[in-house]
Structure formats: structure tokens, C-alpha cells
Amino acid sequence: MMRDDQFFREVESNLWDPEERIRECANHNVDVQVLSTVPVMFSYWAKPVDALDISKLLNDHIAGIIGQYPTRFLGLGTIPMQDADLAIKELERCIKDIGLIGVQLGSNVNGKNLDDEILFPVFEAASDMSAAIFIHPWDVMGKKNMEKYWLPWLVGMPAETSRAICSMIFGGVFERLPNLRVAFAHGGGAFPSTIGRVQHGFDVRPDLCAIDNNIDPIGYLGKFWVDALVHDSTILDLLINKLGENKIAMGTDYPFPLGEKEPGKLIESSNYNNGIKNKLLYNNALDWLGIEKTYFTI
């Protein structure tokens, strides 16, 4: 896979071949997978009309796979966030016309944080349509200063996800749209482990932090979802302690190397009771996606 004229990463057929995915899912006892595009394809940098075209192509492809295998896959679309009107138009097509259940967004849009008023109408439309939103780190801040050691993925992505969460909290997005269903990748990045610092900063410098929303940041714990892809049982315990057992869903990062080698193993190997394990393995994901538990036979 190329990005501009640079080699980005080597990919295999499991990136695009649904039958290969079904075989690999069967090997790992995964019954249903939620499909989304690779973030490098967001194309926020492009002209809006061109980004709309590529979004339609990607979304139609995912919808086609779901049509072929309706009991094995669900889908999240991609929308051209650099133009709110076009983004809403494609969001509506995804939800109302081609059978997707939500959209995947980047953690920022060409440097604009997710609390930017230009982007708010998209979140408002998603709330009105009851569309799920998945936020994945993208275009991480400081990347040019830490290219060595894979640091953009190891350090930048967790920080970038915290940036997105804090922006949506401080900017009042969750406050203004209480029914918005948002999930953040990679266990919420650095946010859960730094919520104490975030709250303390809000307390001691409200002149800097509380300028758009005066509700305590800690009050939003449990108002959004994160995935369980943290590779550490102690951190998974922390997520449950901070966000609650109802707001964490299994994530895989499949088919890329930072995903779990055996999807769900961290959850299944834990000491949690079966009720909590089932929440983390599938029930919480269904709640985030707005899907009845009888939709699939699990």
C-alpha cells in the first residue's frame, strides 16, 4: 500500500477479501465483524468532491460485502469531513440507502479538533439518524518529530485519541448531543489513565479549560465507549474501573500488527465472570451500534 509516493505498509488479501476474512474469523471464533475502511483512505486532504467520490466507492464496496454475507458482517462508512454538507449527505446515504450502521471518523480533520463548530452539524446529523460513530486516531500531532522507533503508532496514536476525547468533552459536543453514540479506538488511548490530570487541570484553571463547557470532565466517563484493545490486563481493569463494564467492547485492529494475535484472548483469559466477558465480547458493541441482541444468533 502506498501513501502519496511513499511505501506505507505491506498488506495481504485479508484486507479486502471477505472469504479470507470469514476463514480467519472462524479460526478465532469471531461470528460477526464490523467492517470499516483503512484510515489512510479518509482522504480529508483532497478536494471535497473528490473525497466524496472515494467515500462513495468505499461505502458501496462495504455495503456490497454485507449484502453478500449479511449474517457475518456489519459496516461503518467513510464521509468527507472536510465539507460538512457533503459529509451529511453521504452519512444519510450510508444509513438510509445502503444499510450501513454508522461511520468511522478520524481524530481530527486537517488539524481541526472534533469540537470545531464547522464539524458539529455532522455529529448532530449522526445523532438525529441514530448512527454510531467510531473515532480512530489519524494524522497524529507531532509525527514529523518522532518518525523513529514507530513512535507515531506507539506514542502519537494514544495521545491523538486523548486529544479527540478531550476536544469533544471540553467543546461540549457530548453535552449538546447526549444521545450521540461514540466509540474511541485503542482503549481510549491515553485518556483513561490521565483523566485525573485532565480533571485537576479543569479544576485549577477553569479560565483555560471551562471556556466552552463548565461540566466536570470526569462526569463524562461512561458516556462513550472504547474498545478493549490495550494488550494489558491491568489496563483493561482500569478501563472497567473508570468507564464501567458496559462501555468497553472488543476491538481487534484486524488485520494489522498492533491488533491481538488471537482476537478476544485478553478478555477470555481474564478472571471476569461470564456476564462481564459477554458484555465485553459482544453485548456492549451491539449497544453502541444500536442493534438488538436478537439481530444475530450469537
Q: What is the pLDDT of residues 65-107, one digit of tens each?
A: 999 999 999 999 999 999 999 999 999 999 999 999 999 999 9
Q: What integer pLDDT is reported at residue 3 of this predicted model?
A: 61
CA 245 to chain centre: 18
Q: Averaged over 288-292, what is the pLDDT?
A: 94
* pLDDT exceeds cutoff 80 at 115: yes
Q: What integer pLDDT is reported at residue 108 of this predicted model?
A: 98
Distances (CA, A) of 52 to 58, 84, 128, 251: 10, 11, 21, 27
R_g (Cα) of the chain, nearest Å: 18
* Helix axes 84-96 and 48-68, enclosed angle (nearest 10): 10
Q: What integer pLDDT is reported at residue 297 of this predicted model?
A: 54
Dihedral (C-alpha) 178, 182, 188, 191: value to the nearest 10 degrees? Answer: -30
Cα separation of 281 and 153, whole Å? 25
* pLDDT exceeds cutoff 70 at 298: no
| CA nearest to 167, candidates 99, 129, 112, 124 | 112
Burial class (CB in 10 A: 0-12, 13-18, 19+), 241: exposed
Please report the beta strands in 100-253, taking only residues with DSSP state E, as ranges in sequence order: 102-106, 132-136, 182-184, 225-227, 248-249
Q: What is the pLDDT of residues 116-172, one digit of tens each?
A: 999 999 999 999 999 999 999 999 999 999 999 999 999 999 999 999 999 999 999
Q: Which domains does the chain have, with CATH numbers?
A: 2-289 (3.20.20.140)
Q: What integer pLDDT is reported at residue 292 of this predicted model?
A: 85
pLDDT band at 7 (very low <50, low <70, confident <90, very high): low
* pLDDT exceeds cutoff 60 at 37: yes
* pLDDT exceeds cutoff 80 at 8: no
Q: What integer pLDDT is reported at residue 166 of this predicted model?
A: 98
Cα separation of 72 and 128, whole Å? 27
Q: What is the pLDDT of residues 238-270, one digit of tens each?
A: 999 999 999 999 999 999 999 999 999 999 999
Q: Which three cell numbers stand for residue 81?
A: 469531513
Burial class (CB in 10 A: 0-12, 13-18, 19+), 149: exposed
Distances (CA, A) of 157 to 137, 145, 186, 234: 5, 14, 9, 20
Beta bridge partners of 248: 226
User: Strand 2-3 vs strand 6-7: parallel, antiparallel, or unpaired?
Assistant: antiparallel
Q: Taking a C-beta distance cutoff of 8 angstroms, is the pair 141, 198 a contact?
A: no
Q: Which amino acid is at 78?
A: T
- Which 3 state secondary structure label does DSSP give 105? strand
Vertex 257: Cα angle to 256 and 258 (nearest 5): 100
Percentage above 90 pLDDT, the chain: 93
Whether the upstream peptide bond of residue 121 has omega within 30° of 0, thus cis, is no
Q: Averaged over 12-30, what is the pLDDT?
A: 93
Q: Averaged over 26-52, what is the pLDDT?
A: 96
Helices (H) and strands (E) in the chain, counts: 13, 9
* pLDDT exceeds cutoff 60 at 2: no
Cα separation of 54 and 60, whole Å? 10
pTM for the model: 0.95
